[in-house]
Structure 1
Amino acid sequence: MPVLLITGGSRGIGAALAIAAAREGYDVALTYASDRASADAVVAKIAALGRTAVAIEADVAREADVVRAFAEVDRRFGSLDAVVINAGITGTFTRVDTLDVAMLERVLAVNVTGAFMTAREAVRRLSTAHGGRGGAIVVISSRAATLGSPGEYVHYAASKAAVDTLVRGLSKEIAREGVRVNGVQPGLIDTEIHARAGRPERVAQIAPNVPMGRAGTAEEVAQSVLWLLSPLASYVTGAILEVGGGR
């Protein structure tokens, strides 16, 4: 059975993707930063679908944690077919002129350094140049990378623009090594990430401005990711798919 690793898989888009992937026949490894209960709940749902799942505690901003997470996947499953780089944080809502450096450094460490370290370990296992059998990587970005998010979190938008560049560059770097690399830019998605950043009202406020007139769901993003992972997207690499209802 194909094996999928999802970073940040205990809540929101990551959790929805883990469950949707299990329905499609994947065994799933997911990382979580601290919420063991939520991670265990996702694992239980996957087990109920008849698939194997494991939750691994890891702070993706720490190289040692990323290396250990992949080693655990090696130990538990013996192989890896796909990786979704999903772990990310927004930081607080703030203008650039009131930006806290410690918060900025943490956002960049998780969203950018974490993405690069995860991609590195994925390539070392999937690439035919490293003895792998090929596979697919999808990076979860954000429409903020294009829109800039003025007055909210330009720092977060910039971190996601960085991972868009990772997608474009890495996809070309390993295109002849059997690995496809693509990105997804979710727009306004109804998950708890807004409340965790201190703006639980944000979805209701912005949804009327989305051309489709509503926020998206984590499940809708998950289906887009699964398409990019699948053979249906066999000639797609270096693409960044907008999943934002037209916004």
Structure 2
Amino acid sequence: MNAARLRRVLEANVIGSFLCAAEAVRRMSTRHGGVGGAIVNVSSKASVLGSPGEYVDYAMSKGAIDTLTIGLAKEVAAEGIRVNAVRPGIIDTDIHASGGEPGRVERLGPAQPMGRGGTPEEVAAAVLWLLSDAASYVMGSFIDVAGGR
């Protein structure tokens, strides 16, 4: 793993998420004339598992997203903004092919406690719930969408 790869992963996952959250806070904050709102960050189950032997750089970047979620949630709660995150596990998306392993879900899915990989729709359902009024008292929390992993 080289420095260029680390920079690319950190810029996309950490810096990108931070800058998006900052813009969302500026627009939603009741302190700045907004009406409040909700931010849902996309972390990864890798952030707590470490992803040894495969994607430690990715796991590290998602650990930073976990820290951002907790810290920002506490910073902006009084401004009417809820901040939470989802932590997808092995999800059947094209990201595996772009990372050089198109069969990763087929390889790892059966070893998950639920015996399969997840779907993008299952992740989206968790995001939608966190954005909804049903989650109005959920703050600084994580939903693992990882099939029990």
The yes-or-no answer on 1:184 pairing with 2:86 is: yes
Q: Distance in 1 between matches of 2:110 and 2:52?
A: 18
Tell me which residue corresponds to 2:30: 128
Report the residue type matching 1:113 in the other structure. Answer: I
> Partner of 1:114 in structure 2?
16
Corresponding residue number in structure 2 for 1:149: 51
> Aligned partners of 2:14 and 2:2: how far apart in 1?
18
Return the letter of the residue paired with 2:100: G
2:67 alignment partner AA: T
Q: What are the ranges of 5 or more consecutive residues in structure 1 without an aligned counterpart?
A: 1-98
What secondary structure sits across from 1:174 in the alignment?
helix
Equivalence for 1:214: 116
Partners of 1:201 and 1:229 lie apart in 2 by 32
Q: Secondary structure at the match of 1:156?
A: helix
SS for the counterpart of 2:78 is helix
Query: For the aligned residues, what is the CA RMSD?
Result: 0.5
**CA distance in 2 between partners of 1:215 and 1:177 (Å):** 38
Is 1:102 aligned with 2:4? yes
2:69 equivalent to 1:167: yes
Question: How far, CA to CA, are the matches of 2:11 and 2:127 in structure 1?
Answer: 24
Sequence identity percentage? 62
Q: State how far apart, in whole Å, the 2-side matches of 1:130 and 1:159 are.
A: 30
Q: Write the letter of the residue equivalent to 2:48.
A: T
Cα deviation, residue 208, structure 1: 1.2
Higher relative contact order by CA 8 Å / sep ≥ 6: 1 or 2?
A: 2
In structure 2, the partner of 1:61 is none
Report how far residue 100 of structure 1 moved. 1.1
Distance 1:106 1:214 in 2: 30
Q: For 1:105, what is the secondary structure of its paired residue?
A: helix
Instruction: Give the Cα separation in 2 of the matches to 1:224 and 1:130.
Output: 29
What is the identity, as a one-letter code, of the residue corresponding to 1:127?
Answer: S
TM-score (norm 2): 0.99
Larger Rg: 1
Greater percentage in helix: 2
Q: CA deviation at 1:162?
A: 0.1
- Corresponding residue for 2:148? 246
Runs of 4 or more above 2 Å deviation = none
Task: Count how many residue pairs are aligned between Structure 1 and Structure 2.
Answer: 149
Give 2:102's match in structure 1, choosing from 196, 200, 222. Answer: 200
